[in-house]
């Protein structure tokens, strides 16, 4: 049996009660959800269903929305890429924020929610396009990105692990210099992460990833059964004269 999409093993009982009752639409629960998200940032846990529920409450009650909490929700959604969580979060933000964060509308004002969305969307796009070196370059040289992710404990380590997971799913071997750029690690830190955290091996200038069900090349033979009478009908129609 598959895991339910709203399942979260770390979810407190009071949050679960709210999510499964009418109180999830009660504006008074916004503070409860906000505290819960702050806890997720500190404990390195993640509850997509609860975070989306808060954004929905903000959508219904825009006067209650807190930019800092929205920032944290978006950053936490980044940490589970390549899942669609970040895009789901964006879909619940006010339209004016999304419109003013587009380049063709001009740069958003400094310190606004739209500016934060623009910068985090850049990181999201780079991750989705597997531009991992660009992701780290943007992150390291964009002061706003550093500020936006400051509340999320272990953000950089989490992103390295997520990148490593994607690499393990599609590669058996990768150049050391390439992987160093993707992980933003070099020297002893790189060696430790690759060997001790990932369990991969370093062979000269190559990093080898153990075979698994995702990265193992397998030949697939496609078979299609077509009955003889299907051919006969097709040939007959080809020779029929139009009426």
Q: Yes or no: say if 163 and 194 are a contact pair by the CB < 8 Å rule.
A: no
Query: What distance in Å separates the CA atoms of residue 46 and residue 7, rounded to the nearest whole number?
Result: 11
Q: Which long-range contacts (CB under 8 A, 24 or more apart) does 94-98 make?
A: 94/59, 94/62
Return the pLDDT at 61: 95
Domain 13-239 fold is: 1.25.40
Best CA proximity match to 176, nearest among 210, 211, 185: 185
Query: What distance in Å separates the CA atoms of residue 65 and residue 47, rounded to the nearest whole number?
Result: 19
Query: What distance in Å separates the CA atoms of residue 29 and residue 195, rounded to the nearest whole number?
Result: 45
pLDDT of 101 above 60: no
pLDDT of 233 above 70: no
Residue scoring higher pLDDT (236 or 63): 63
Q: For residue 163, name the pLDDT band (cuts at 50, 70, 90).
A: very high
Write out pLDDT tens, residues 120-157.
999 999 999 999 999 999 999 999 999 999 999 999 99
Beta strands in the chain (DSSP E): 173-175, 201-203, 206-208
Confidence (pTM): 0.82
Average pLDDT over residues 76-81: 95
Domain map of the chain by residue range? 13-239
For tokens 């040939």, name the residue.
235
DSSP 183-240: HT--HHHHHHIIIIIS--EEETTEEEPPP-TTT------------HHHHHHHHHHHHP
Cα radius of gyration rounded to whole Å, the chain: 24
Return the pLDDT at 12: 92
């Amino acid at each position: 049996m598959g895991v339910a999409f709203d399942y979260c093993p770390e979810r407190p009982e009071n949050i679960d009660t709210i999510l499964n009752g009418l109180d999830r639409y009660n504006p008074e629960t916004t503070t409860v959800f906000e505290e819960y998200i702050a806890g997720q940032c500190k404990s390195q846990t993640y509850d997509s269903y609860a975070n989306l529920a808060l954004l929905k409450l903000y959508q219904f009650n825009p006067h209650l929305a807190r930019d800092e909490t929205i920032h944290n929700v978006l950053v936490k959604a980044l940490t589970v890429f390549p899942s669609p969580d970040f895009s789901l979060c964006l879909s619940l933000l006010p339209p004016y924020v999304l419109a003013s964060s587009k380049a063709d509308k001009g740069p958003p004002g400094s310190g606004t929610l739209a500016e934060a969305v623009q910068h985090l969307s850049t990181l999201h796009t780079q991750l989705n396009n597997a531009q991992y070196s660009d992701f780290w370059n943007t992150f390291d040289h964009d002061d706003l990105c550093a500020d936006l992710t400051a509340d999320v404990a272990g953000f950089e380590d989490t992103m390295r692990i997520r990148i490593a997971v994607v690499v393990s799913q599609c590669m058996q071997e990768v150049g050391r210099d390439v992987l160093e750029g993707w992980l933003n690690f070099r020297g002893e830190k790189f060696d430790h992460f690759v060997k001790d955290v990932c369990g991969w091996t370093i062979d000269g200038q190559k990093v080898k990833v153990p075979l698994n069900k995702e990265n193992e090349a397998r030949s697939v033979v496609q078979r299609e059964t077509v009955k003889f009478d299907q051919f006969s009908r097709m040939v007959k129609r080809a020779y029929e004269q139009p009426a």
